[in-house]
Every structure is written in structure tokens, then in C-alpha cells.
Amino acid sequence: MEFRQSSKLSEVCYEIRGPVIEHANALEEAGHSVLRLNTGNPALFGFEAPEEIVQDMIRMLPQAHGYTDSRGILSARRAVAQRCQAQGLPEVGVDDVFLGNGVSELVSMAVQALLEDGDEVLVPAPDFPLWTAVTTLAGGRAVHYLCDESADWYPDLDDLASKITDRTKALVIINPNNPTGAVYPREILDGMLDLARRNQLMVFADEIYDQIVYDDAEHLPAASLAPDLVVLTFGGLSKTYRVAGFRSGWLVVTGPRQHARNYLEGLTMLASMRLCPNAPAQYAIQAALGSPNSIRELTAPGGRLYEQRDRAWQKLNEIPGVSCVKPKGALYAFPRIDPAVHKIHDDERFVLDLLLREKIQVVQGTGFNWPSPDHFRILTLPHADELESAIGRIGRFLTGYRQG
């Protein structure tokens, strides 16, 4: 008797935590130290949880042992609604907010509630691959629109328009973007939203990095630009408050909800099927949003994240045959390996070979649904000196690397 995984999983691909991880774990078990530059987990790199959040969670813990409302506790939803109003989102009330065990859970619920088998969702390439994976798992088809590296990784609006069919149901916008670090200017967002408007698409705006922006980049919430569209905006504490392990996220519905009444009933049912999000993590939301966020100190010139982003970008560009667009937001860089200089036809192999030789774990570009094996993603979370040394080692490895 053999228990086999469901055939529903056969097309689902999620490389960030993919097979290379097993090799990294085996190396660690054999006593090697592996530099894990694969998952955007600030805690691994010495970023501490803000004290006020931890203290408030501890204080509230004795009251957090029961199930809550399946959408989340009122005080936390109120805090999210207030944050949205401050960001210019149109008319957000507590009933428009759903809390979740991280954005990941809410992404899964939001997509599942919408799709019929064969429905299409427009997802960027490269993407945060959860969007593609959950669309596939829900019986849909992720159709990838290209982002243009030669234009600061902004979405190519012509390519996006050309991919819309009568099966297209939704448009995913990831801004600031993981993995490219792009932060979209108003004209790009307006162009995307206009396509959604003309084709009656629901908009999923994944804005989990909304406060992690560098230089003169400004994050514009998609929902603030399109009060006439049904937009689901996703945010949370994992990145901007550096508490990924708490699993605290939210989803906010804006726009003409009367056109989404039936959908929202479905979403509410899915929310109640998981009973409620973890209650202590909901108190973390209320605590976090009720106090000033120190993220700006980290992203401003001289701040730790700013310096690390700069150093990673400089050092990557010093590697012969490698070029990297400067990230304007988020916690990653997505460099290009010039195929004319380095002949890599299997980027997963490249990432595995790098791991085995240098004990550095990055993620291959194709893991983000990028169509060719000529990119990888690296975190900008380690201290600048550690990043410099790791990128130096990646450069030396690449120089002598050949794929047969």
C-alpha cells in the first residue's frame, strides 16, 4: 500500500523552500555552516522583534486562549482599517479587513474563493511564486506577464495587455516587488489598473513590503489609485516589523463591494473554516500598528537595510558577467548572469553546485517563474560585510564554473 500525493499537486511548484533545502539541511547535519540567503526571514540575520510588540503580546497572552471572530479581533481590524485610511485607501471599515496567519494564508484563501477550473490569473514574471502555486492548486492557470529588466523591472504593459483572455479573472500586482526590488511609479500602476478596469478584473495587490523603500522611491497603494475597482490589498508584520514567525497578516477589501458580495461570502466561509487566525499574533497587529515603526531608520541612508542593499548591489555588479538593477524596495536583489559569459542552462543545478561548493544558498531565477536560467535571487538581509564576502565567493565560484 502506497500513499501518493494528490494529483492536484502535480503541477504545483514552490522552489523557495524546494529540493535544494534538503541538501542544505544535510550539509548542516554533517557539521557545515550554511549561509541561508534563500528566505526573507529577518530574524535569522539579527533583526530583533520590536520590544513594544513582544511586551504587548505577553501582556495580552492570558486573554488570547480562545477562538476569535473568524475574520480576526475587532481592535486589530480597527488598527488595520486606520492604517489603510492613513495610506489613502478608499473607505475602509472593520468589515473590510480579514486577518490571517501571515499573508500566505490569505493569498491562498483569496485565490481559492475566486477561481473556477481553467480561470486565469495574471501573475508577474518574475513573481513571488506562492501566487502561481496557489492559482494552480485552485484549478486555475497562472499566466505570467513579463517585467522588463531594462526598464527598472517595471511590468511591460503591452505584454500584460496581450495576455488577457476571456478566462482572465484577476491581476496580481506585487509592489514593492519580490524578487526584483522594483517600486512602481504612478504611470505604471495607472496603466495596470486601467487594464484591470477595462477587462473587469479583480486586483490582488500584494504590498507586504510597503514600508521598505529606498532612495526617492515612494510606495503608492494600488487601491488608493482605483477606488472604482475591487482591490484586495495584502499586508502584514513579517517584513516591515521583522516578526515573520508570528504569522500576522491582513487582507483589505476596497472598491465596489456590491459587485463582489457573493465572492466575499465565499471568502468569509473560507475564513471561518480555519476558525480564526492564531490569536496572540492578532494582538501583535494591534500592538505594532499602535506604535511608531522603526523601519524608516533602517531604510534611510546610513540605516542597516539601506547600507546592505547598496553593498549587495555594488558587489554584484563587480562580478564579471553579472549585472543587477538597483533594488528600490524590499529585501532582495535579482542579478542577471550574462549567458554570453557564463553558460548556465540549468539554474537549479547552478544553485545546488554553489551550495555544495561554497555553502551559500540562493534561489534560482526560474524558481520565480522567470522564463530563462539566467538570474538568481539573493537576500540583502545579512550585515554588509557578510554580504560582501558571500558575493565575493559567489563571484569566484561563477568565474570557474562550467555546466557540461
Q: Which residues bind ligand PLP (CB under 6 A)?
A: 40, 102-104, 128, 174, 178, 206, 208, 236, 238, 244, 249
Question: Least CB distance from residue 364 to ligand PLP, whole Å?
Answer: 16
Question: Would you state the cell numbers that stand for residue 310, as one nine-digit string?
Answer: 547598496
CB 292 within 8 A of CB 284: no
Question: Which three-class secondary structure string do you get for 209-259?
Answer: CCCCECCCCCCCCHHHHCCCCCEEEEEECCCCCCCHHHCEEEEEEECCHHH
Q: Between residues 365 and 398, which has the closer beta carbon with respect to ligand PLP?
A: 365
Q: Between residues 103 and 146, which has the closer beta carbon with respect to ligand PLP?
A: 103
Cβ-proximal residue to ligand PLP, closest one: 102
CB 388 within 8 A of CB 315: yes
Question: Least CB distance from residue 169 to ligand PLP, whole Å?
Answer: 19
State the CB neighbour count (10 A cutoff) for residue 185: 14
Question: Least CB distance from residue 302 to ligand PLP, whole Å?
Answer: 25
Round to whole Å and give the CA distance between 402 and 404.
Answer: 6
Question: Would you state the cell numbers that stand for residue 6, as one nine-digit string?
Answer: 494528490
Question: Least CB distance from residue 277 to ligand PLP, whole Å?
Answer: 11
Question: Least CB distance from residue 126 to ligand PLP, whole Å?
Answer: 11
CB 273 within 8 A of CB 112: no
Q: Between residues 84 and 398, which has the closer beta carbon with respect to ligand PLP?
A: 84
Q: Residue 178: which of 203, 151, 207 has the closest Cα?
A: 207
Q: Between residues 298 and 319, which has the closer beta carbon with respect to ligand PLP?
A: 298
* Residue 179: cis peptide before it, omega within 30 degrees of 0: yes
Q: Between residues 181 and 373, which has the closer beta carbon with respect to ligand PLP?
A: 181
Question: Least CB distance from residue 39 to ligand PLP, whole Å?
Answer: 7
Q: Between residues 211 and 238, which has the closer beta carbon with respect to ligand PLP?
A: 238
